[in-house]
Amino acid sequence: MAMDEVPGASLVNALASTRQGNDTIFGWYARYLRAKEEGHDAINGTAGLLLEDDGSLAINDVVDQMLRQAPPLEFASYAPLKGLPDFLDLSISLVLGEHREDIEALGFNFVSTATPGGSGALFLAANNLCERGDAILLRNRHWGPYAGFLKGCGLEMATWPLLPDGENDYPYFADQAFEQTVEELANKQKTVMVWLNDPAHNPTGLTMTPQGRRAALDIMMASASKHPDVGHTLLLDTAYSLYADSPHGWGQTIIDTMNDGTPWPENFLITYALSLSKSHTAYGLRTGALIGIHPDEEVTERLRDIFGTTGRQTWSAAPRLLQYTSVQLHANEETAQAWSDERDRLQDLLTKRRETFVKACETYNVPINPTHDGFFAWLEHDDPESITEACAQHHVYLVPLRGGIRIGLCAMPSDGIERVAKTLADVLN
């Protein structure tokens, strides 16, 4: 074998040959774990897991207890290919919340398909709602694995800035740049699809304002009306939404838009990627759903067949246990309230950590981005690797990503947060 020949090159296809290396986030998490094993006073700001202040995994005990009480059949049996019907109904309520009835009253129909986590929902959308070779539009700061989903489905990536330059009327939404890019894509592609991780954006913790949501929806609907032969889809990745102050804000935006008399283009679809990993602290049970909203029932019924068939041909059926357990939990007023109370406690833990971090960054002049909800905060930087390497010398472990540093407030002990801010300040200066 030639020295420059890749082992096994003849056994894999061209796409597989590009798949190499370790995930950045898990690689830095492993470095933190090694530091702890060596006895260092290390702080974990790497993993996208909600940890208690003592470093243990935060688990909603209500979910845990109900999982352990489930009948053996629910552990062992397949779920229906599209998902348990009661779970599919619940998934719609989880993403729309108190706005569901009003949206139904406006004449909308829903489709939901159970998936292995939010990642499965993203795959369903990428695999079915875009033509191969088209570009999906993302913010220029986004969850890194998005790129892998797109590449694996034969798709390209286009981006627009996370934050606008200067002041405008739509805080936390780059309306002009977004509108221009949507128009460019609509003029050269068969489909236009936008992925918005909102509220509680990963990796920044940014949440769009009501004005920003309305601007995004107006731009998408106007483009769909202008280009009736181009399919338009807005996908809302809601992985962290139930830890946000306004978890169902997009439902209100849809209602406001329709009440203003804006006609809904036939070629426009809104989808939600739901994950129960964070909201129900059941990361490993891989349970989620892709939910679609459209006024034409024929459209939603066709999507139901397409999504179900795709699931069958990819992962067969999504895991059954948490589908069953979440339905039982939310159908009972007592357990639903207990789950909500515990979720509120965990949200409060995140809120206090964020407030402490933002205040400490102000004290030490650390220029973090605006951050509102969810698991993370963000520091924009042209050379993130150098900053995280320097922080690691102080045994503060953060994650370098393209364009900046993800700061995992979800994993940090509350009494270590000021140390993180001071370390960043020392390193930056």
Per residue of the chain (429 residues), what is the pLDDT tens digit? 444 566 777 888 887 777 766 688 889 999 999 999 999 999 999 989 999 999 999 999 999 999 999 999 999 999 999 999 999 999 999 999 999 999 999 999 999 999 999 999 999 999 999 999 999 999 999 999 999 999 999 999 999 999 887 666 677 887 889 999 999 999 999 999 999 999 999 999 999 999 999 999 999 999 999 999 999 999 999 999 999 999 999 999 999 999 999 999 999 999 999 999 999 999 999 999 999 999 999 999 999 999 999 999 999 999 999 999 999 999 999 999 999 999 999 999 999 999 999 999 999 999 999 999 999 999 999 999 999 999 999 999 999 999 999 999 999 999 999 999 999 999 998
CATH 3.90.1150.10 residue ranges for the chain: 9-60+337-428
Q: What are phi and psi of 189, to 5 degrees?
A: -120, 165
What is the per-residue pLDDT for 5? 66
Architecture of domain 9-60+337-428: Alpha-Beta Complex (3.90)
* pLDDT reported for residue 164: 81
268-275/43-44 β-pairing: unpaired
Cα–Cα distance measured from residue 118 to residue 302, given in angstroms and rounded to the nearest whole number: 22
Residue with tokens 């924009």: 380
Model pLDDT, residue 109: 98
Structural contact between residues 396 and 370, judged by C-beta atoms closer than 8 angstroms: no
- Residue 45 to residue 51: CA distance in whole angstroms: 10
CA-based nearest residue to 115, from 140, 135, 150, 91: 91
CATH T-level fold of 79-319: Aspartate Aminotransferase; domain 2 (3.40.640)
Q: Hey, how many other C-beta atoms are within 10 angstroms of the C-beta on 67? A: 20
Q: What pLDDT sits at residue 4?
A: 52
C-alpha span between 46 and 292 (Å, rounded): 32
Q: Degrees (nearest 5) of the Cα angle 142, 144, 145?
A: 120
Nearest Cα residue to 199 out of 338, 12, 372, 388: 372
Q: What tokens appear for 269 in the block?
A: 């679809």
Q: What is the pTM of this model?
A: 0.95
Q: Are 25 and 305 in contact (CB under 8 A)?
A: no
Contact predicate 115/290, CB 8 Å: yes
129 backbone φψ class: left, alpha, beta (φ>0; ψ -120 to 50): alpha
Question: Which regions of the chain carry the CATH code 3.40.640.10?
Answer: 79-319
